[in-house]
Amino acid sequence: DADVTQTPRNRITKTGKRIMLECSQTKGHDRMYWYRQDPGLGLRLIYYSFDVKDINKGEISDGYSVSRQAQAKFSLSLESAIPNQTALYFCATSDLTGRGTQYFGPGTRLLVL
Amino acid sequence: GQSLEQPSEVTAVEGAIVQINCTYQTSGFYGLSWYQQHDGGAPTFLSYNALDGLEETGRFSSFLSRSDSYGYLLLQELQMKDSASYFCAVNNQGGKLIFGQGTELSVKP
């Protein structure tokens, strides 16, 4: 089984709808991250959490919210989806060593019409 | 501001050696990582440099010069399966990464 899983893998929604993307991990890591990827723009950090009680905004948090339900679960919500949130979304985890090793989930392709 | 610069595309032939450069300007710096991504799949970790010098892992090596805010990824004995996007990323807050925009490597027969 994969260490980091994301659901759904693909989603089409309409402008104004609320949508939640879920991430689960079995690596036992405290740190979790949400990124979005747009063509030619690399990965940009939306939110990150260094433990269950710690939530921090990344560089592009506007329009998004997150919930850290447990050490293993980190959800990303779009309260009112808009077309420019169409992107590939990745969840990632890392351990406490502070090194640059993050483990990514398979991604969620989101299309907002 | 914070920025990382890397070439957008590189092309090389099978069996050759290719170097992908990365320069960075960030408010904090703990180390430089490299990731590989195939066709929109999950990025996978390749290497990490916290100190100046060369790190070697099989066919891949990574170099860092902190004084020059510069690093590179060196891929030797290129194979077709190495065709992918490669991202450098600065670790600027104990595990939080800032990614470059990626370099698309095409390996030709």
Percent of chain A residues past pLDDT 90, beyond the cut: 87
Residue A2 has pLDDT above 90, yes or no: no
Average pLDDT of the residues in A15-23: 97
Which pLDDT value is given to residue B94?
61
State pLDDT tens for residues B23-74: 999 888 889 999 999 998 999 999 999 999 999 989 999 999 999 999 999 9
In whole angstroms, what is the distance from residue B105 CA to residue B109 CA?
13
Question: To the nearest 10°, the Cα dihedral for B21, B108, B42, B19?
Answer: -10
More confident residue, A41 or A46: A46
Whether residues A42 and B31 touch (CB distance < 8 A) is answered with no
Q: Does A101 lie at the interface with B, CB-CB under 8 angstroms?
A: yes
Question: How many CB atoms neighbour CB A107 within 10 A?
Answer: 23
In chain B, residues with a C-beta closer than 8 Å to the C-beta of A59 are: 98
Given A35, A45, A100, which is nearest B48 (Cβ)? A100
Which pLDDT value is given to residue A100?
72
More confident residue, A83 or B26: A83
Which pLDDT value is given to residue B96?
83
In whole angstroms, what is the distance from residue B30 CA to residue B94 CA?
7
What's the one-letter identity of residue B8?
A: S
